[in-house]
């Protein structure tokens, strides 16, 4: 999101950012560049999205979807009304499905075009989680949530003026389900100046790492699979291999994990530095949708990537050329062993990944595509 804001500002557009600050993802202005805060007049409104069993049960008995409704706040709504009555906007871009409860307010107080910036197919994430749920009590509940969320997600398409999908597969999915709203594929991009390519030592075996928020269930599931199923296979062939894990809300039992070669920490102050100081990124995901931003960032820095096919969804990568893909524990472990034994191959893979980002995922052309999409909507 920060890269997109900067790109729009560089292109000469005026940008105002109003966001929600949640317990899970608080707005931490001290970590953001002062010029970006000033240029976008960024402000946040606290919304308590913590799980409320009473509200969740109530929504279960109604047509509301608790995954969505808990992001609505009267405080945010009031601030939005005041903003829309004080200023005029050409486009209001909603970052993710979770901002769509405010569409009614936007329509009432503004003539701006409403664009949904779709980060994921949210119902697909829930559906995949439901398929992997082992608890026979939770499984039907998760399936119900996925079905309910799918109906909501498809209905929202008729309430917006346009959809900026983050990947071609998401665009195709929306079209297949009869979306009448204009859709453009606008992937996540980076400013390469912010991601200088690392210069690893070809004489040293690479360190494997994963960085991601661990209060997102797909990440936790993937890491537990990696530790329980993949890592023992790696150690049997490469006893000196090292795996570093980091991320917000790291579960206590993982923080205390003592497997050979594994180092676990929670939140890191600087994600870019953490990634640059390590070599091979692993992304063991079995549920999710959209596009993994961390993969794009890792590739931009020349980090070689090992992922599951689901983890790499939405990215125009080629297995064996600029990424290594594996669907099974044995295949994933073999890729890790192969790169550990051959640092030069790991570096070549990272260089190819960087070239992919240079060709396809840099900010300037992506911002041009987005603004061209906006102009088409404004003329309609």
Give 125-165 as a DSSP string.
Answer: HHHHHHHH---TTHHHHHHHHHHHHHHHHHHHTTTSSEEEE
β pairing state of 280-283 and 208-211 = parallel
| The pLDDT of residue 240 | 95
Which residue ranges of the chain lie beneath pLDDT 50?
A: none
Q: Using the 8-state DSSP alphabet, how is residue 166 labeled?
A: S
Gap between the Cα atoms of 97 and 121, Å rounded = 9
Residue pLDDT, tens place only, 302-324? 999 999 999 998 899 999 999 99
Gap between the Cα atoms of 283 and 230, Å rounded = 12
| The pLDDT of residue 182 | 94
**Cα 308 vs. chain centroid, distance in angstroms?**
15
The reported pTM is 0.83
Residue 70 CA neighbour count, 13 Å, CB half:
19
Q: Using the 8-state DSSP alphabet, how is residue 313 labeled?
A: T
Residue 79 CA neighbour count, 13 Å, CB half:
15
| The pLDDT of residue 145 | 75
Gap between the Cα atoms of 60 and 65, Å rounded = 7
CB 296 within 8 A of CB 361: yes
Question: Where do the domains of the chain lie, and which CATH numbers do they carry?
Answer: 2-189+362-379 (3.40.50.2000), 193-360 (3.40.50.2000)
| The pLDDT of residue 130 | 61
| The pLDDT of residue 62 | 53
| The pLDDT of residue 123 | 60
Buried b (16+ CB within 10 A) or exposed e, 91-117: bbbbbbbbbbbbbebbeeebebbbbbb
Gap between the Cα atoms of 123 and 111, Å rounded = 29
């Amino acid at each position: 999101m920060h890269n997109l804001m900067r790109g729009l500002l560089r292109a000469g557009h005026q940008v105002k950012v109003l966001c929600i600050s949640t317990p899970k993802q608080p707005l931490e202005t001290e970590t953001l560049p002062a010029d970006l805060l000033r240029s976008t007049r960024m402000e946040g409104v606290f919304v308590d999205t913590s799980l409320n069993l009473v509200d969740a049960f109530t929504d279960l008995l109604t047509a509301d979807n608790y995954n969505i409704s808990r992001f609505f706040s009267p405080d945010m709504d009031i601030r939005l009304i005041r903003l829309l009555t004080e200023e005029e906007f050409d486009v209001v871009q909603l970052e993710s499905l979770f901002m769509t409860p405010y569409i009614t307010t936007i329509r009432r107080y503004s003539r701006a075009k409403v664009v949904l910036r779709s980060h994921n197919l949210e119902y697909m994430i829930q559906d995949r989680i439901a398929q992997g749920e082992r608890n026979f009590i939770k499984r039907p509940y998760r399936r119900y949530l996925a079905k309910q969320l799918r109906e909501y997600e498809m209905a929202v398409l008729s309430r917006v003026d346009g959809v900026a999908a983050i990947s071609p597969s998401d665009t195709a999915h929306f079209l297949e389900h009869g979306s009448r709203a204009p859709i453009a594929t606008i992937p996540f991009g980076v400013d390469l100046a912010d991601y200088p390519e690392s210069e690893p030592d070809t004489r040293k075996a690479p360190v494997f790492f994963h960085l991601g928020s661990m209060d997102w269930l797909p990440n936790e599931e993937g890491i537990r699979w990696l530790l329980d199923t993949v890592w023992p296979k790696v150690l049997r062939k490469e006893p000196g291999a090292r795996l570093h894990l980091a991320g917000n809300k790291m579960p206590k039992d993982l923080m205390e994990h003592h497997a050979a070669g594994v180092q676990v920490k929670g939140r890191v102050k600087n994600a870019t530095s953490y990634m640059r100081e390590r070599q091979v990124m692993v992304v063991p995901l079995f549920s999710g949708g959209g596009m993994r931003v961390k993969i794009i960032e890792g590739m931009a820095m020349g980090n070689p990537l090992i992922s599951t096919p689901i983890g790499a969804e939405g990215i125009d990568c080629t297995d064996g050329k600029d990424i290594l893909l594996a669907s099974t524990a044995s295949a994933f472990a073999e890729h890790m062993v192969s790169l550990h034994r051959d640092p030069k191959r790991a570096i070549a893979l990272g260089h190819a990944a960087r070239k992919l980002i240079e060709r396809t995922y840099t900010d300037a052309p992506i911002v041009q595509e987005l603004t061209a999409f906006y102009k088409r909507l404004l003329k309609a």
